[in-house]
Amino acid sequence: MRYGRRATIAVALAASAAITLTGCGGGGGGGGNKGGDKPSASATASKTSGAGADGGDTPSATPTQVLAQIKGEKDIEVTINSAVRDSGGFVTVQGVVTNNGTNIFNADSWVGNETALSASGASVAGAVLVDEAGKKRYYVLRDTDGKCLCTMKLLSIQPKESRPFFAQFPAPPAATTQVDFELPTMPPAKITISEG
């Protein structure tokens, strides 16, 4: 009787140990992710504003939409990825500047002729949205210091380097969904405004 009891206890302990080991194993693939299944902040960061962006290559889950591509002098290319109207009455245009040339590029000429915006330095401060149907031009917004609500410090863009940019404008009327995006020294591009 004693041996039967011991055998039953041994079987119970072995089964318990097997269940415990199975519980510790799961999670698939280890990989040293000590923070659980949450991706790191850098993996989930999105380029929503472009403010202070350093041109890092943050991966995105879906292919980036292209509304327009503008090719200008010195083999500079501007790709516009989004133009979103928000509920606050603004349109935010985002995209990428790529230097396909062989020389360093500074966006000094993109500031425009308005003296008040010179505080923005090399930037897209001179960008304009043109509503041809409504016969209106919408200029980049600025803060109380006269700096544009746009990406600044577009300096020393190396050959083959890309940098993200954004520019914020007053929103045209809700019925206006197509505008021309104009940047000094570059040809205009027709873009479609989407609702945020």
Q: pLDDT tens digits, residue range 71-97?
A: 998 999 999 999 999 989 999 999 999
The per-residue pLDDT for range 119-156, each reduced to its tens digit, is 678 899 999 999 999 999 999 999 888 889 999 999 99
CB 128 within 8 A of CB 139: yes
Structure tokens at 53: 């962006």
In order of 3, 9, 19, 20, 80, the CA distances from 6 in angstroms are 5, 5, 20, 21, 76
- Domain membership flag for residue 88: yes
Show Cβ contacts of residue 36 under 8 Å, excluding neighbours closer than 6 positions: none
Domain assignment present for 103:
yes
Question: How many domains would you assign to the chain?
Answer: 1
Report if residue 154 sits inside a domain. Answer: yes
Q: Is 72 exposed, middle or buried (0-12, 13-18, 19+ CB in 10 A)?
A: middle
Average pLDDT over the chain, rounded to an integer = 76
Is 22 inside a domain boundary? no
CATH number, domain with residue 118: 2.60.40
Q: Residue 151's domain spans which residues? A: 64-195
pLDDT band at 56 (very low <50, low <70, confident <90, very high): very low
